[in-house]
Structure 1
Amino acid sequence: MSQLYRTWKDRNISIKTKVRLVRALIFHIFTYAAETWTIKAADRQRIDAFEMWCWRRMLQIPWTAHRTNVSILRQLKITRRLSTTCLKRILEYFGHIARRDGDNLEKIVVTGKVEGKRPRGRSQIRWSDQIRTALDTKVHTALNVAQSRVKWHKIVQKVVSGRGHDPQQ
Protein backbone atom coordinates (compact mmCIF):
# COMPACT_ATOMS: atom_id res chain seq x y z
CA MET A 1 0.00 0.00 0.00
CA SER A 2 2.83 2.39 0.83
CA GLN A 3 4.56 1.69 -2.48
CA LEU A 4 1.47 3.01 -4.24
CA TYR A 5 1.72 6.36 -2.45
CA ARG A 6 2.93 8.15 -5.58
CA THR A 7 -0.06 6.77 -7.45
CA TRP A 8 -2.48 8.01 -4.78
CA LYS A 9 -0.95 11.51 -4.92
CA ASP A 10 -1.19 11.70 -8.70
CA ARG A 11 -4.12 13.96 -9.57
CA ASN A 12 -4.13 12.85 -13.22
CA ILE A 13 -5.43 9.41 -12.20
CA SER A 14 -9.18 9.36 -11.57
CA ILE A 15 -10.67 8.05 -8.33
CA LYS A 16 -12.46 5.34 -10.28
CA THR A 17 -9.13 4.06 -11.60
CA LYS A 18 -7.60 4.19 -8.12
CA VAL A 19 -10.50 2.14 -6.75
CA ARG A 20 -9.92 -0.45 -9.44
CA LEU A 21 -6.21 -0.51 -8.56
CA VAL A 22 -6.97 -1.12 -4.87
CA ARG A 23 -9.35 -3.93 -5.74
CA ALA A 24 -6.93 -5.52 -8.21
CA LEU A 25 -3.65 -5.11 -6.34
CA ILE A 26 -4.56 -5.18 -2.66
CA PHE A 27 -7.94 -6.83 -2.15
CA HIS A 28 -7.13 -9.57 -4.63
CA ILE A 29 -4.09 -10.56 -2.56
CA PHE A 30 -6.00 -10.12 0.71
CA THR A 31 -8.80 -12.49 -0.31
CA TYR A 32 -6.43 -15.27 -1.34
CA ALA A 33 -7.91 -18.50 0.09
CA ALA A 34 -10.67 -16.51 1.84
CA GLU A 35 -13.14 -19.28 1.05
CA THR A 36 -11.44 -21.46 3.69
CA TRP A 37 -11.50 -18.86 6.47
CA THR A 38 -13.72 -19.08 9.53
CA ILE A 39 -14.85 -15.47 9.98
CA LYS A 40 -16.24 -14.46 13.37
CA ALA A 41 -17.84 -11.09 14.13
CA ALA A 42 -14.54 -9.67 15.41
CA ASP A 43 -12.76 -10.86 12.27
CA ARG A 44 -15.41 -9.21 10.11
CA GLN A 45 -14.83 -5.93 11.96
CA ARG A 46 -11.08 -6.23 11.37
CA ILE A 47 -11.64 -6.91 7.67
CA ASP A 48 -13.93 -3.87 7.43
CA ALA A 49 -11.37 -1.77 9.32
CA PHE A 50 -8.62 -2.84 6.92
CA GLU A 51 -10.83 -1.99 3.97
CA MET A 52 -11.58 1.48 5.35
CA TRP A 53 -7.88 2.00 6.10
CA CYS A 54 -7.12 1.26 2.43
CA TRP A 55 -9.82 3.65 1.17
CA ARG A 56 -8.69 6.44 3.54
CA ARG A 57 -5.08 5.89 2.54
CA MET A 58 -6.03 6.05 -1.13
CA LEU A 59 -7.98 9.30 -0.65
CA GLN A 60 -5.27 10.71 1.68
CA ILE A 61 -7.77 11.47 4.43
CA PRO A 62 -6.07 12.11 7.78
CA TRP A 63 -7.59 10.72 10.96
CA THR A 64 -8.19 14.31 12.15
CA ALA A 65 -10.62 14.94 9.29
CA HIS A 66 -13.51 13.29 11.19
CA ARG A 67 -15.03 11.77 8.05
CA THR A 68 -17.43 8.90 8.57
CA ASN A 69 -16.97 5.57 6.88
CA VAL A 70 -20.37 5.93 5.24
CA SER A 71 -19.38 9.23 3.60
CA ILE A 72 -16.19 7.71 2.23
CA LEU A 73 -18.03 4.67 0.86
CA ARG A 74 -20.62 6.92 -0.77
CA GLN A 75 -17.92 9.11 -2.30
CA LEU A 76 -16.24 6.05 -3.81
CA LYS A 77 -19.59 4.44 -4.75
CA ILE A 78 -18.71 1.20 -2.96
CA THR A 79 -21.72 -1.11 -2.88
CA ARG A 80 -20.18 -4.30 -1.46
CA ARG A 81 -17.82 -4.49 1.47
CA LEU A 82 -14.74 -6.68 1.52
CA SER A 83 -16.12 -8.87 4.31
CA THR A 84 -19.22 -9.54 2.21
CA THR A 85 -17.01 -10.59 -0.69
CA CYS A 86 -15.28 -13.04 1.65
CA LEU A 87 -18.66 -14.43 2.75
CA LYS A 88 -19.72 -14.81 -0.88
CA ARG A 89 -16.57 -16.77 -1.66
CA ILE A 90 -17.16 -19.00 1.38
CA LEU A 91 -20.71 -19.78 0.29
CA GLU A 92 -19.63 -20.43 -3.31
CA TYR A 93 -16.93 -22.81 -2.09
CA PHE A 94 -19.48 -24.59 0.09
CA GLY A 95 -21.64 -25.13 -2.99
CA HIS A 96 -18.61 -26.50 -4.81
CA ILE A 97 -17.92 -28.94 -1.98
CA ALA A 98 -21.58 -29.98 -1.79
CA ARG A 99 -21.62 -30.99 -5.46
CA ARG A 100 -18.59 -33.29 -5.11
CA ASP A 101 -18.70 -37.06 -4.63
CA GLY A 102 -19.63 -38.49 -1.24
CA ASP A 103 -16.20 -39.99 -0.54
CA ASN A 104 -14.43 -36.65 -0.95
CA LEU A 105 -12.43 -35.55 2.11
CA GLU A 106 -13.78 -31.98 2.16
CA LYS A 107 -17.37 -33.18 2.01
CA ILE A 108 -16.75 -35.71 4.79
CA VAL A 109 -15.33 -32.97 7.01
CA VAL A 110 -18.18 -30.54 6.28
CA THR A 111 -20.86 -33.15 6.96
CA GLY A 112 -19.20 -33.94 10.31
CA LYS A 113 -18.44 -37.60 9.75
CA VAL A 114 -14.91 -37.37 11.15
CA GLU A 115 -14.13 -39.77 13.98
CA GLY A 116 -12.12 -38.89 17.04
CA LYS A 117 -12.24 -36.89 20.24
CA ARG A 118 -12.42 -33.15 20.58
CA PRO A 119 -10.04 -31.26 22.85
CA ARG A 120 -11.18 -30.00 26.23
CA GLY A 121 -12.73 -26.58 26.68
CA ARG A 122 -15.06 -24.48 24.63
CA SER A 123 -15.26 -25.67 21.06
CA GLN A 124 -14.01 -23.39 18.34
CA ILE A 125 -16.43 -22.08 15.73
CA ARG A 126 -16.38 -24.44 12.80
CA TRP A 127 -16.33 -23.48 9.14
CA SER A 128 -19.73 -25.06 8.66
CA ASP A 129 -21.15 -23.03 11.58
CA GLN A 130 -20.76 -19.81 9.63
CA ILE A 131 -22.61 -21.40 6.72
CA ARG A 132 -25.44 -22.31 9.07
CA THR A 133 -25.66 -18.80 10.56
CA ALA A 134 -25.45 -17.07 7.18
CA LEU A 135 -28.21 -19.21 5.68
CA ASP A 136 -30.33 -19.68 8.85
CA THR A 137 -30.69 -23.37 8.05
CA LYS A 138 -29.02 -26.70 8.80
CA VAL A 139 -25.89 -27.72 6.92
CA HIS A 140 -27.51 -30.89 5.56
CA THR A 141 -30.38 -28.85 4.11
CA ALA A 142 -27.87 -26.50 2.50
CA LEU A 143 -25.98 -29.50 1.09
CA ASN A 144 -29.14 -30.73 -0.60
CA VAL A 145 -30.02 -27.31 -2.02
CA ALA A 146 -26.46 -26.77 -3.27
CA GLN A 147 -26.76 -29.79 -5.56
CA SER A 148 -28.51 -27.48 -8.02
CA ARG A 149 -25.98 -24.89 -9.10
CA VAL A 150 -28.63 -22.42 -10.31
CA LYS A 151 -30.63 -22.56 -7.06
CA TRP A 152 -27.48 -22.25 -4.97
CA HIS A 153 -26.29 -19.23 -6.96
CA LYS A 154 -29.63 -17.49 -6.34
CA ILE A 155 -29.46 -18.25 -2.62
CA VAL A 156 -25.90 -16.91 -2.39
CA GLN A 157 -26.93 -13.70 -4.18
CA LYS A 158 -29.90 -13.30 -1.84
CA VAL A 159 -27.77 -13.79 1.29
CA VAL A 160 -25.05 -11.44 0.08
CA SER A 161 -27.45 -8.70 -1.06
CA GLY A 162 -29.43 -8.81 2.19
CA ARG A 163 -26.37 -9.06 4.41
CA GLY A 164 -27.18 -5.95 6.40
CA HIS A 165 -23.69 -4.50 6.75
CA ASP A 166 -23.33 -3.09 3.27
CA PRO A 167 -22.20 -0.44 2.73
CA GLN A 168 -21.66 0.22 6.44
CA GLN A 169 -23.07 -0.93 9.73
Structure 2
Amino acid sequence: MKIMPIEKTASAPLSIVVINGQAVHVVWQFTCLESIISSSGKLDAEISVRLAKTSSVFRRLLGAVFHRPQINRHTKARIYNAKVSSIMLYSSETWRIAQTQLRMVDAVQARHLRRVESFKCYDKIRNTEILKTFKLANLSTQVEARSLRWYGHLLCPPISTPKRIISDFNPSENGWKRPRGRPHTRWADVINQRLLNRNINPNEAPSLALDRATWRRLTVLSTSSLYAGDPAEQER
Protein backbone atom coordinates (compact mmCIF):
# COMPACT_ATOMS: atom_id res chain seq x y z
CA MET A 1 0.00 0.00 0.00
CA LYS A 2 1.29 3.44 -0.90
CA ILE A 3 -0.01 6.98 -0.67
CA MET A 4 0.22 9.18 -3.74
CA PRO A 5 0.02 12.93 -3.13
CA ILE A 6 -2.11 15.03 -5.43
CA GLU A 7 -2.57 18.72 -5.86
CA LYS A 8 -4.48 20.35 -3.01
CA THR A 9 -7.66 22.07 -4.17
CA ALA A 10 -10.84 23.25 -2.51
CA SER A 11 -12.69 20.07 -3.47
CA ALA A 12 -9.93 17.46 -3.49
CA PRO A 13 -8.37 15.64 -0.52
CA LEU A 14 -4.67 15.89 0.25
CA SER A 15 -3.89 12.32 -0.86
CA ILE A 16 -5.34 9.14 -2.28
CA VAL A 17 -4.63 5.59 -1.15
CA VAL A 18 -3.62 2.90 -3.63
CA ILE A 19 -3.95 -0.74 -2.56
CA ASN A 20 -2.62 -3.47 -4.91
CA GLY A 21 -2.56 -1.00 -7.75
CA GLN A 22 -6.14 0.15 -7.28
CA ALA A 23 -7.05 3.60 -6.00
CA VAL A 24 -9.44 3.77 -3.07
CA HIS A 25 -12.10 6.43 -3.41
CA VAL A 26 -11.76 9.15 -0.80
CA VAL A 27 -15.06 10.37 0.67
CA TRP A 28 -15.97 12.94 3.29
CA GLN A 29 -18.33 10.60 5.13
CA PHE A 30 -19.30 6.94 5.05
CA THR A 31 -21.42 4.45 6.98
CA CYS A 32 -19.69 1.85 9.14
CA LEU A 33 -21.61 -0.54 11.42
CA GLU A 34 -24.77 1.54 10.99
CA SER A 35 -22.99 4.74 12.11
CA ILE A 36 -22.12 7.66 9.85
CA ILE A 37 -18.44 8.62 10.10
CA SER A 38 -17.64 12.16 8.96
CA SER A 39 -14.22 13.63 8.20
CA SER A 40 -15.19 16.76 10.15
CA GLY A 41 -16.18 14.75 13.21
CA LYS A 42 -19.60 16.41 13.29
CA LEU A 43 -22.72 14.44 14.16
CA ASP A 44 -25.33 16.32 12.13
CA ALA A 45 -25.90 13.50 9.63
CA GLU A 46 -25.73 10.78 12.29
CA ILE A 47 -28.24 12.51 14.59
CA SER A 48 -30.62 13.15 11.70
CA VAL A 49 -30.56 9.48 10.68
CA ARG A 50 -30.96 8.30 14.28
CA LEU A 51 -33.95 10.58 14.84
CA ALA A 52 -35.58 9.41 11.60
CA LYS A 53 -35.10 5.73 12.44
CA THR A 54 -36.32 6.24 16.00
CA SER A 55 -39.49 8.02 14.87
CA SER A 56 -40.15 5.36 12.22
CA VAL A 57 -40.03 2.54 14.77
CA PHE A 58 -42.12 4.52 17.24
CA ARG A 59 -44.86 5.11 14.66
CA ARG A 60 -45.02 1.39 13.87
CA LEU A 61 -45.39 0.56 17.56
CA LEU A 62 -47.85 3.33 18.36
CA GLY A 63 -51.04 1.51 17.44
CA ALA A 64 -49.75 -1.99 18.06
CA VAL A 65 -48.39 -1.35 21.59
CA PHE A 66 -48.45 2.16 22.98
CA HIS A 67 -52.13 2.93 22.40
CA ARG A 68 -53.38 -0.39 23.71
CA PRO A 69 -55.14 0.08 27.08
CA GLN A 70 -54.53 -3.58 27.98
CA ILE A 71 -50.78 -2.89 28.26
CA ASN A 72 -49.80 -1.09 31.47
CA ARG A 73 -47.55 1.96 31.55
CA HIS A 74 -44.58 0.11 33.07
CA THR A 75 -44.56 -2.39 30.20
CA LYS A 76 -44.85 0.39 27.65
CA ALA A 77 -41.86 2.16 29.21
CA ARG A 78 -39.77 -1.01 29.03
CA ILE A 79 -40.74 -1.56 25.39
CA TYR A 80 -39.92 2.07 24.61
CA ASN A 81 -36.46 1.66 26.13
CA ALA A 82 -35.81 -1.63 24.35
CA LYS A 83 -37.18 -0.81 20.92
CA VAL A 84 -37.03 2.96 20.53
CA SER A 85 -34.42 4.45 22.87
CA SER A 86 -31.90 1.75 21.97
CA ILE A 87 -31.98 2.88 18.33
CA MET A 88 -31.43 6.51 19.28
CA LEU A 89 -28.59 5.69 21.67
CA TYR A 90 -26.75 3.26 19.39
CA SER A 91 -23.01 4.10 19.46
CA SER A 92 -23.72 7.18 21.61
CA GLU A 93 -20.79 6.25 23.86
CA THR A 94 -18.42 7.84 21.33
CA TRP A 95 -20.50 10.85 20.37
CA ARG A 96 -18.92 14.29 20.49
CA ILE A 97 -22.38 15.77 20.71
CA ALA A 98 -23.34 19.41 21.18
CA GLN A 99 -25.89 20.66 23.71
CA THR A 100 -28.24 21.78 20.93
CA GLN A 101 -28.27 18.24 19.54
CA LEU A 102 -28.90 16.79 22.98
CA ARG A 103 -31.90 19.08 23.34
CA MET A 104 -33.19 17.83 19.99
CA VAL A 105 -32.88 14.23 21.18
CA ASP A 106 -34.71 15.01 24.44
CA ALA A 107 -37.43 16.87 22.55
CA VAL A 108 -38.12 13.86 20.33
CA GLN A 109 -38.34 11.57 23.37
CA ALA A 110 -40.77 13.94 25.10
CA ARG A 111 -42.90 14.16 21.96
CA HIS A 112 -43.09 10.37 21.75
CA LEU A 113 -44.12 9.95 25.39
CA ARG A 114 -46.77 12.65 25.04
CA ARG A 115 -48.29 10.73 22.14
CA VAL A 116 -48.29 7.55 24.19
CA GLU A 117 -50.40 9.30 26.84
CA SER A 118 -52.34 11.30 24.22
CA PHE A 119 -51.32 14.57 25.87
CA LYS A 120 -51.83 17.77 23.88
CA CYS A 121 -49.85 21.00 23.95
CA TYR A 122 -52.69 22.86 25.65
CA ASP A 123 -52.61 20.36 28.55
CA LYS A 124 -49.53 22.28 29.80
CA ILE A 125 -47.82 19.22 31.22
CA ARG A 126 -44.08 19.61 31.61
CA ASN A 127 -41.57 17.17 30.20
CA THR A 128 -40.33 16.40 33.70
CA GLU A 129 -43.80 15.24 34.66
CA ILE A 130 -43.96 13.01 31.59
CA LEU A 131 -40.65 11.39 32.52
CA LYS A 132 -41.83 10.84 36.10
CA THR A 133 -45.00 9.24 34.81
CA PHE A 134 -43.03 6.64 32.86
CA LYS A 135 -40.12 6.50 35.34
CA LEU A 136 -37.66 7.14 32.52
CA ALA A 137 -34.49 9.21 32.31
CA ASN A 138 -34.17 11.72 29.50
CA LEU A 139 -31.96 10.53 26.66
CA SER A 140 -29.27 13.19 27.17
CA THR A 141 -28.69 11.90 30.71
CA GLN A 142 -28.48 8.35 29.38
CA VAL A 143 -25.92 9.45 26.76
CA GLU A 144 -23.72 10.88 29.53
CA ALA A 145 -23.95 7.75 31.68
CA ARG A 146 -23.24 5.41 28.75
CA SER A 147 -20.20 7.40 27.62
CA LEU A 148 -18.69 7.40 31.12
CA ARG A 149 -19.33 3.70 31.54
CA TRP A 150 -17.62 3.00 28.22
CA TYR A 151 -14.74 5.33 29.15
CA GLY A 152 -14.18 3.22 32.24
CA HIS A 153 -13.81 0.12 30.06
CA LEU A 154 -11.34 2.03 27.90
CA LEU A 155 -9.16 2.86 30.92
CA CYS A 156 -8.93 -0.72 32.21
CA PRO A 157 -6.40 -2.23 29.72
CA PRO A 158 -2.66 -1.51 30.14
CA ILE A 159 -1.33 1.71 28.63
CA SER A 160 0.67 -0.34 26.10
CA THR A 161 -2.46 -1.61 24.33
CA PRO A 162 -3.36 0.09 21.01
CA LYS A 163 -6.64 1.57 22.23
CA ARG A 164 -4.94 3.13 25.26
CA ILE A 165 -2.15 4.51 23.06
CA ILE A 166 -4.74 6.14 20.81
CA SER A 167 -6.94 7.45 23.63
CA ASP A 168 -3.96 8.78 25.63
CA PHE A 169 -2.35 10.47 22.62
CA ASN A 170 -1.71 14.16 23.30
CA PRO A 171 -1.27 16.13 20.05
CA SER A 172 0.45 19.12 21.68
CA GLU A 173 3.07 16.89 23.32
CA ASN A 174 3.89 15.39 19.93
CA GLY A 175 4.41 18.64 18.06
CA TRP A 176 0.94 18.84 16.53
CA LYS A 177 -0.65 22.28 16.28
CA ARG A 178 -4.35 22.93 16.09
CA PRO A 179 -5.51 25.42 13.41
CA ARG A 180 -6.10 29.06 14.21
CA GLY A 181 -9.41 30.09 15.63
CA ARG A 182 -11.60 28.36 18.15
CA PRO A 183 -10.60 24.67 18.29
CA HIS A 184 -13.22 21.98 17.79
CA THR A 185 -14.41 20.22 20.91
CA ARG A 186 -12.89 16.76 21.14
CA TRP A 187 -14.42 13.63 22.59
CA ALA A 188 -11.84 13.79 25.40
CA ASP A 189 -13.01 17.32 26.22
CA VAL A 190 -16.61 16.10 26.46
CA ILE A 191 -15.62 13.23 28.73
CA ASN A 192 -13.58 15.49 31.01
CA GLN A 193 -16.54 17.85 31.40
CA ARG A 194 -18.87 14.95 32.19
CA LEU A 195 -16.41 13.67 34.78
CA LEU A 196 -16.34 17.10 36.42
CA ASN A 197 -20.16 17.11 36.42
CA ARG A 198 -19.96 13.92 38.51
CA ASN A 199 -17.32 15.48 40.81
CA ILE A 200 -14.65 13.14 39.43
CA ASN A 201 -11.14 14.49 38.86
CA PRO A 202 -10.14 13.53 35.27
CA ASN A 203 -6.58 12.88 36.44
CA GLU A 204 -7.86 10.36 39.00
CA ALA A 205 -10.16 8.59 36.53
CA PRO A 206 -7.59 5.95 35.36
CA SER A 207 -7.02 4.71 38.91
CA LEU A 208 -10.71 4.84 39.82
CA ALA A 209 -11.70 2.86 36.73
CA LEU A 210 -9.56 -0.10 37.81
CA ASP A 211 -12.07 -0.74 40.58
CA ARG A 212 -15.12 -1.71 38.54
CA ALA A 213 -17.54 -1.48 41.46
CA THR A 214 -16.36 2.02 42.38
CA TRP A 215 -16.50 3.23 38.79
CA ARG A 216 -20.00 1.81 38.36
CA ARG A 217 -21.12 3.59 41.52
CA LEU A 218 -19.64 6.91 40.39
CA THR A 219 -21.02 6.82 36.86
CA VAL A 220 -24.35 5.05 37.31
CA LEU A 221 -27.51 6.82 36.20
CA SER A 222 -28.28 8.46 39.54
CA THR A 223 -31.79 8.66 40.94
CA SER A 224 -31.46 12.43 41.36
CA SER A 225 -30.98 12.86 37.60
CA LEU A 226 -33.46 10.20 36.57
CA TYR A 227 -36.17 12.67 35.71
CA ALA A 228 -33.89 15.61 34.94
CA GLY A 229 -35.90 16.79 31.96
CA ASP A 230 -35.04 19.97 30.12
CA PRO A 231 -32.90 22.35 32.27
CA ALA A 232 -34.51 25.35 30.61
CA GLU A 233 -37.91 24.04 31.57
CA GLN A 234 -36.93 23.53 35.20
CA GLU A 235 -36.02 27.21 35.54
CA ARG A 236 -39.55 28.30 34.66
**What is the correspondence of 1:1-169 to structure 2 with a 5 Å cutoff?**
1-7=58-64, 8-78=66-136, 80-114=137-171, 115=174, 116-136=176-196, 138-157=201-220, 160-161=221-222, 166-168=227-229, 169=231
- CA 1:138–1:118: 2 relative to 1, 3 Å: farther
Q: Distance in 2 between matches of 1:126 and 1:62?
A: 39
Greater RCO, 1 or 2 (C-alpha within 8 Å, sep 6+): 1
Aligned to 1:10, the other structure's residue is in SS state coil
Q: Distance in 1 between matches of 2:72 and 2:224?
A: 30
- CA 1:17–1:162: 2 relative to 1, 3 Å: closer
2:132 is matched by which residue type in structure 1? R
Bigger Rg, structure 1 or 2: 2
RMSD: 2.3
Structure 1 unaligned residues grouped into runs of 5+: none
CA contact (8 A) 1:47 1:82 kept: yes
Q: 1:138, CA displacement in angstroms?
A: 4.9
- CA 1:13–1:150: 2 relative to 1, 3 Å: closer
Q: Distance in 2 between matches of 1:148 and 1:52?
A: 36
Give the TM-score normalised by structure 1.
0.83
Q: Distance in 2 between matches of 1:50 and 1:67?
A: 16
Higher helix share: 1
Structure 1 stretches of 4+ with a deviation exceeding 4 A read 162-165
Give the TM-score normalised by structure 2.
0.62
Higher strand share: 2
